[in-house]
Chains A and B, each alone.
Chain A
Amino acid sequence: MIGSPRSGAIILSAPSVISVIDDDPSVRLATNNLLTSRGYAVSIFGSAREFLQSAELKTTSCVIADVQMSAMSGVDLLVHIRGLGHHTPFIFVTAFPDDAAVRERALKAGAICFLAKPFSTPALIHCLETALSGSGVATK
């Protein structure tokens, strides 16, 4: 057994919503399923554009995005959102972890984590906790 029940069932008192953006439907559903089972509130989007047009753009506490998406990549989305003045923390997942240039660009743009698919659940939860604990500072 990896995750102890104690660390697995954190219910946050604040209404924080995690936004998952991935153009692969099964990865999107699976991430949603995982986070929902751990007690998080989750919204899912199939593209960066879909997210940008949603109400969650302003209210989300953390974004988990795929890097390689057609039309607008995850890193471009992050740069765009920072340009709009939002400081939402970003976690990236990618199935091409060996691309050092993309990784560097993502971290430089302010991503909290850069995870390789398939990612381990503890690693994702750790990133998420880091993101949510710092969000009080980030929203100022």
Chain B
Amino acid sequence: MMPGQIAKFGNSAAQLLLGGLAALRSFGNGEKDRPAVGDDSRQDILDLRDAVKQWREVFEHNPVMYFMVDRAGTVLNVNTFGAAQLGYTAAELIGQSVLNVFFEEDHDFVRRCVALSLETLHQSHTWEIRKFRKDGSVLWVRENAKAMLRGDGTPIVLVACENITQRKEAEDALRQSEAYLAQAQELSRTGSFGLNIATGAIVWSRETFRIFQCDLAVKPTLDFVVQRIHPEDRAAVSKTLDRAARRAADFDHEYRLLMPDGSVKYLHSVARAVRHGSGLIEFVGAVTDVTVAKEAEQRLRRSEAYLAEAQRLSHTSSWAWDVRRQEFAYRSAELYRLFGFDPGPIEVPARAFQQRILPEDFQRIVEVERRAVRRKEPFEVDFCIARPDGSIRRVHTEGHPIVNSDGEVMEIIGTHVDVTEQIAAKEALQRAFDELKTSEQRFRDYAETASDWFWETGSDHRITQISEHADTASATPTGLIGLSRWDIPPDVELEPGKWEQHRATLDAHLPFRDLVYRGRDRNGSPIYVRTSGKPLHDADGHFLGYRGVSSDVTAAIRAEQAEEALRKAQAELAHVTRITTLGELTASIAHEINQPLAAVISNADACISWLGRDPANLDAARRSVEWIVEDANRASEVIRRIRALAKKTEIEMVALDINQVVREVIAFVRRELATNAVSVRMELSSGLPKICGDRIQLQQVLINLVVNGIEAMQANVDRPRELAIRSSQAGEDGDRHLLLTVRDRGVGLGCDVTDHIFTPFFTTKSSGLGMGLSICRSIIEAHAGRLSALPNEGSGATFQIALPFPHKDTS
């Protein structure tokens, strides 16, 4: 570091002392040399001696360092204080070169200073320089120097030094802290500012210049700041500043800047109002560029919303468990809902959650957790929750211990899946299966034993005759003669409409067919009876009554009811698995919506540009708006499709273009395809007749087959990951049907597996309920089709769906 610049110095204590020192020196030296003089002179000499003594005291102990050096820089004299400051005695320094106490790199500078002083006799000079003490420590001094001639005409330089080490250190510290501050501002993207609203004066730190993209050489003005602020935020900012100025109050606000390149910055600014003596208000504050945080926050909020939605749809909640504290480190909102708590702002302790787990289950969970922590292994456990409303939820849990660098398990992260509905649907399906089986048996039994019976009624509709067949068993009722039909059945109250209509038919003497009603057999057991009759007239056309036939159709009706229950259970299960699948497809869904949104935004901005041209290009603007409408319709169509999948709807059999169904499915799973680097080859025959089916259920089957295919190829290294989807027509006239195949090049099917993959609850995967393919088969069978699986000749498997085309005469 170079010493401070050399400058002439004015009147100061140091100059006076320097003058005194010079006088003292010349006197002290002269004393020995001069001969004695007269009395008057003697008194003068005595006075002078006193003066010398006093000056010597001043010289030696004045807290200023004095040096006297000759032309060569040799120390001729130094005061005690001066030597002591450097850690020497005066004797140690006198006769030595003064350069010994200066740093090597400063020697030239010292020599120049001495030379300058000698060239300009009697003129004072001042500079700042470092010295080092005997112990090596640094001493900063401000030196005043002046050269003068001694009695013998030889020039000497007198130097007085003040210790300015403290000031220098303070300056260094200040400089350093300023550098730190600038660096800190840059790193934290925070600038500081001073603002005087009355005068419009603005002071900015370097970082503030950077944030506002203002040249450092330009003086910032309020106008410039206003121009930079996003037009939508200008009013709010000026309102904030006005209020702060009026009330002399601190302010804290956020606003946006619109930069020249069109980008937007988010700023957060806080300021304190400082009132000066003159009454003027000044604001001193900091402004932080929070764009990155804002954008991250928006992204985070969006992805959290997606996650929450996916968790809600798929009944999945996630959590992190702090093993040491035995408390949650994190839990999703869905976890609160699962346990019957409000996901509100109040912290619910882990204990409250635990108390809702059935006690015997809780004991088991504690043991499973301990074992997982000990062995550092993931675990799965099933348990039940009793909610305060009395409902029981069945939960499947998977947990993974997180091991820290010390090899200790700190946390367990995991998921709870609410499987109550899946299990209930499974059980209902199983029950429906069983019931169907017994129904079929019963139907067979009845068919073997039951028979029809004939009857006649009179003109008053009362039964006059029942003819028993030879083989008639217990079904034919007895003791009915003289009763009307509506006196017999127990369902008159249940279905009054049916009977009113029937009586109207009879009163009009019209024939009737297949009236089904509930009655009792001769043992009193409830049965279903189907009856048909036609009116009887005599030769003159007078109404005589009815004659007809009845049969016991109990078995057939029961079988129908069982089938209906089975269909319902399947639909329920299909819905539950569809929702689970949908939860896994959120990324694809986002993609499908983002594409048209991107187009909408681009076209809207283009429209503004076309309108802003001079002259405005109205045709192009109109075209842009038309495209916006198309793209927005596309986005809303995507949302409609997702809602249709998530909705629990009745099965709706309509005419469908199967190729369209395939394309919609591919849109749903695009993300899964991209992530797993699977390409899709579609060979869709054009001109296929429409098939009759439920769009949602067929989509579900295809999603299942495609996702299965993707998973089967996950381990592919040397084989391409390619999925081929093919639609075609097969069969002869009268038996024409649609063939849809999904062919993968994955691990393929072992022969032992092929037999079982369509069985409910069979799975080769570690996760999942194993219902996928069995549901698929039952859906296709409900469409009067067939779903089969075949191993490929090379690698992989092919799933084939065969669906009949509707007959032309079907109305």
List the interface of chain A (C-beta within 8 A of B).
1-5, 7-9, 24, 26-27, 29-31, 33-34, 36-38, 68, 70-71, 93, 95-96, 98-99, 116-123, 125-126, 129
Contacts and interface: CB of A to CB of B under 8 A. Distances in A.
Given A68-B674, A121-B262, A122-B263, 17 more contacts: A2-B264, A3-B262, A3-B605, A7-B260, A27-B595, A30-B627, A30-B631, A33-B627, A36-B606, A37-B620, A70-B680, A93-B598, A96-B591, A98-B587, A116-B594, A117-B598, A118-B597
B598 to A, nearest CB: 4
Given A68-B674, A99-B675, A126-B262, A31 B602 contact: yes
7 contacts: A4-B262, A33-B623, A37-B620, A38-B609, A95-B594, A96-B591, A122-B264
Nearest to A102: B674
A117 B670 CA distance: 15
A7 B601 contact: no
A68 B670 contact: yes
A26 B587 contact: no
A8 B627 contact: no
Given A118-B600, A125-B262, A26 B630 contact: yes
Contact of A26 (B599, B607, B609): B599
Interface in B205-229: none
B313 to A, nearest CB: 19
A67 to B, nearest CB: 9
Contacts, number: 116
A126 B612 contact: no
Contacts of B630: 26
Interface string B604-638: 01111110110001001001100100110010000
A123 B591 CA distance: 20
A37 B631 CA distance: 19
Contact of B594 (A8, A117, A121): A117
Interface in B563-615: 587, 590-591, 594-603, 605-610, 612-613
A63 B304 CA distance: 33
Contacts of A126: 261-263
B150 to A, nearest CB: 71
Contact of A37 (B260, B599, B606): B606
Interface string B423-435: 0000000000000
A26 B612 contact: no
B258 interface: yes
Interface string B98-122: 0000000000000000000000000
Nearest to B592: A95
Contacts of B587: 96, 98
Interface in B235-273: 258, 260-264
A2 B674 CA distance: 35
A31 B670 CA distance: 22
A27 B599 contact: yes
A95 B262 CA distance: 23
B612 A30 contact: no
B306 to A, nearest CB: 10
A127 to B, nearest CB: 10
B574 to A, nearest CB: 29
B679 interface: yes
A92 to B, nearest CB: 13
Contacts of A29: 599, 627
Contacts of B680: 70
Given A95-B594, A118-B597, A34 B262 contact: no
B679 A70 contact: yes
B671 interface: yes
Given A5-B612, A99-B675, A121 B263 contact: no
A43 B631 CA distance: 21
Contact of A3 (B595, B598, B608, B671): B608
B795 interface: no
B597 A34 contact: no
B648 to A, nearest CB: 29
B359 interface: no
A116 B595 CA distance: 10
B260 A95 contact: no
Nearest to A73: B674
Contact of A120 (B601, B670, B674): B601
Contacts of A99: 674-675
A34 B679 contact: no
Nearest to A120: B601
B601 to A, nearest CB: 5
A118 B603 contact: no
A26 B631 contact: yes
B679 A95 contact: no
A37 B597 CA distance: 19
A118 B671 CA distance: 16
B19 interface: no
A35 B263 CA distance: 17
A38 B670 CA distance: 32
B788 interface: no
A112 B537 CA distance: 96
B598 A118 contact: yes
A34 B679 CA distance: 31
| Shortest Cβ-Cβ A-B pairs, 5 listed | A122-B262, A37-B609, A30-B599, A30-B602, A118-B598
Contacts of A122: 261-264
A4 B640 CA distance: 37
Interface in B648-687: 670-671, 674-675, 679-680
Contacts of B606: 30, 33-34, 36-38
A71 to B, nearest CB: 7
A7 B262 contact: yes
Nearest to B679: A70
Given A5-B612, A96-B587, A26 B601 contact: no
Contacts of B613: 9, 37
Contacts of A38: 606, 609
Contacts of B598: 27, 30, 93, 95, 117-119
Question: Which of A1, A30, A120 counts the most chain B CB atoms within 10 A?
Answer: A30
B602 A33 contact: yes
Contacts of A37: 605-607, 609-610, 613, 617, 620, 624
Contacts of A33: 602-603, 606, 620, 623-624, 627
A137 to B, nearest CB: 20
Contacts of A7: 260-262
